[in-house]
Amino acid sequence: MDRLQLEHSEVDQVNRLLDRHADELWPLDTEEALHRAAVLAHQLPERTQDRVAAFRLEQTSGVLCISGYKVDQDRLGPTPSHWRDRPDRSPAHREELALVMLGSLLGHPFAWATQQDGRLIHDVVPIKGHEHEQLGSSSEALLTWHTEDAFHPLRGDYLTFACLRNPYAAATTVGYADHLDLPDGAREVLMQERFGIRPDESHLAKNNSEPGMDAFDDINEMQRNPDLVAVLFGDPAQPYIRADPYFMIVPDGDQEAQWALDALVKAMDNAMFDMVLDGGDFCFIDNYRVVHGRKPFTPRHDGTDRWLKRINLTLDLRKSRSARPVAAVRAIH
Ligand SMILES: NC(=[NH2+])NCCC[C@H](N)C(=O)O
Ligand SMILES: O=C(O)CCC(=O)C(=O)O
Ligand SMILES: [Fe+2]
């Protein structure tokens, strides 16, 4: 993992940029605001721009954490008890804007019509009743490692988090896909289209407010009948990954594929390490080179819980153009 510790003068520069433009850039999830944020991102500290560019060019590890920014905890108020409870303008608008600007140095923010009601900026908070789910909103169960939105061919190139608070130091887990210790022959099998990845539960109608939406028909179809895809791809010596074992299946009788997948799970389980995000940390995860998950924690449900903002980024909006109703809509349907 790579860390960039912002110096005082750099934090001041970021804060001045946010002071100048926070009101102008609300609402933030419009095409105009995203465009403007991408232009303003060039006023972020040069060292930050440089490190993010190195990360994008794969000159660094697949995880970058930018620290040093201070979150005004009083301004935030209580952690919401559900992602749905977001007011029009989030009390964390400043941090959302910072995340969008930093993300714009890397790619283009996009959303899923089938996740968190199509919102561009997600809230990751523990939700009462979800404790043992395989959802970002769970808490007491281990969130098993995964590529974000692994089931979908249009999944993001990067996953980004702004940590607003994490009082009990719940750990995000991370694992690199390159240099995994796999048994002979497993890598070759994992590079073949022999694996089905079903949508994770955050994309199911029951976890959204408009269950009747057409987009859920496609999710249901992918659920019933996932395409067979490769788990490793790119350079065999340093492969990219696409996996979410908890939601994966192997066709009946393909024992070799099952063996290779089991071997991958074992190797990755051994390679995972903890990354504790703290308030003010901005974290960038390369969704091709790295998988992530989260260790169990005990939620409080009293307004003081852990709170992350999350945005998916793509390097190429054109790939999803036919899945978005108009060019200016960032949600994939
Ligand atoms: N192995 C898993 N738990 N995969 C699903 C990950 C959680 C999902 N991305 C969410 O936002 O809730
Ligand atoms: O809460 C975390 O640290 C990570 C949760 C997660 O996997 C996600 O939000 O995609
Ligand atoms: Fe995730």
- Give the span between the Cα atoms of 196 and 316, in whole angstroms: 24
Amino acid symbol at 63: V
Instruction: Return the CATH fold of 2-332.
Output: Double-stranded beta-helix (3.60.130)
**Residue pLDDT, tens place only, 280-332:** 999 999 999 999 999 999 999 999 999 999 999 999 999 999 999 999 999 99
| Mean pLDDT across 241-248 | 99
CB of 155 closer than 6 angstroms to any ligand 1 atom? no
The pLDDT of residue 302 is 98
CB of 146 closer than 6 angstroms to any ligand 1 atom? yes
The alpha carbon of 233 is separated from its chain's Cα centroid by a whole number of angstroms, namely 20
Q: Kindly give the number of the ligand 1 atom that is closest to the alpha carbon of 310.
A: 11
Per the prediction, the chain carries an average pLDDT of 98
Q: Does pTM surpass 0.90?
A: yes
**Residue pLDDT, tens place only, 107-135:** 999 999 999 999 999 999 999 999 999 99
The pLDDT of residue 56 is 98
**Residue pLDDT, tens place only, 93-113:** 999 999 999 999 999 999 999
The pLDDT of residue 276 is 98
Helix axes 8-21, 93-104, angle to 10 degrees: 110
Distance 135 CA to ligand 3 centre (A): 8
Phi/psi of residue 197, nearest 5 degrees: -120, 115
* Protein residues whose CB sits closer than 6 Å to any atom of ligand 2: 124, 136, 143, 148, 172, 292, 294, 308, 310
Distance 297 CA to ligand 2 centre (A): 13
Give the model's confidence band at 175: pLDDT under 50 very low, under 70 low, under 90 confident, else very high: very high
Distance 78 CA to ligand 2 centre (A): 20
The pLDDT of residue 127 is 98
- Give the span between the Cα atoms of 298 and 168, in whole angstroms: 8
The pLDDT of residue 103 is 98
- Give the span between the Cα atoms of 10 and 5, in whole angstroms: 10
ipTM over 0.95: yes
Q: Which residues pair with 249 in a beta bridge?
A: 196
Closest C-alpha to ligand 1, atom 6: 135
- Listed by start position, the domains of the chain span 2-332
**Residue pLDDT, tens place only, 183-201:** 999 999 999 999 999 999 9
Distance 294 CA to ligand 2 centre (A): 6
The pLDDT of residue 168 is 98
The secondary structure of 27-41, three-state, reads: CCCCHHHHHHHHHHH
**Residue pLDDT, tens place only, 40-94:** 999 999 999 999 999 999 999 999 999 999 999 999 999 999 999 999 999 999 9
CB of 143 closer than 6 angstroms to any ligand 1 atom? yes
